[in-house]
Amino acid sequence: MKDVAARRLVHFVHGKESGPWGRKIKAMAEVARQSGWAIDSLDYAWTTDPALRLEQLASALRGHDGPLVLVGSSMGGWVALEAARLASPRGVFLLAPALGMPHYPTPGRPVPVPTEIVHGWADDVVPAQHSIRFAEQHHCPLHLIPGGHRLDEQIPAICQLFHAFLHRMPV
């Protein structure tokens, strides 16, 4: 059991209307595997309440004491960022995170670990300005790229950015 708990783990947190193994997660999971990380992705579709999703993730991460990277998309970005305050990951990688959105508590505390954001300029669900503001306040690297909220057309670029992010993580 100790070997499982101590493994290097990338944990993916999907968005409000997607699932645990969508196109972006599958592609990024392959990047993580090739970089020597184990992967996990829970199904949060049973609720649209970000606080309940956070509880589910926190429960799943209990007992994991190895290197951890959290990856969150949209609502999952908010969940991953909040979970970072509980789980002490090595880093957090966010895709169009639902920061500054109505009905989501706004993270106001400093980001506890290296955090990097990718956001589409043409996002009509979560305005890019929210990520710009957050990155400015917390001094996070921010990649503004062509595309809308789903960023499906940018999967190769996202995978390149994620690969570089993983390779900067201390192990």
In angstroms, the CA 50 to CA 155 distance is: 25
Distance CA 167, CA 49 (A): 33
Q: What is the pLDDT along the chain (171 residues), one digit of tens a residue?
A: 344 455 899 999 999 989 999 999 999 999 999 999 999 999 999 999 999 999 999 999 998 989 999 999 999 999 999 999 888 899 999 999 999 888 877 666 677 799 999 999 999 999 999 999 999 999 999 999 999 999 999 999 999 999 999 999 987
Question: What domains can be seen in the chain, in order of their start residue?
Answer: 2-168 (3.40.50.1820)
**By C-alpha distance, which of 64, 58, 62 is closest to 13?**
58
Alpha-helical regions (H) of 12-145: 23-34, 50-61, 75-87, 128-138
**Cα–Cα distance for residue pair 86/159, rounded to 1 Å:** 26
Q: Are 73 and 50 in contact (CB under 8 A)?
A: no
Q: Where are the beta strands (DSSP E) in 61-114?
A: 68-73, 91-95
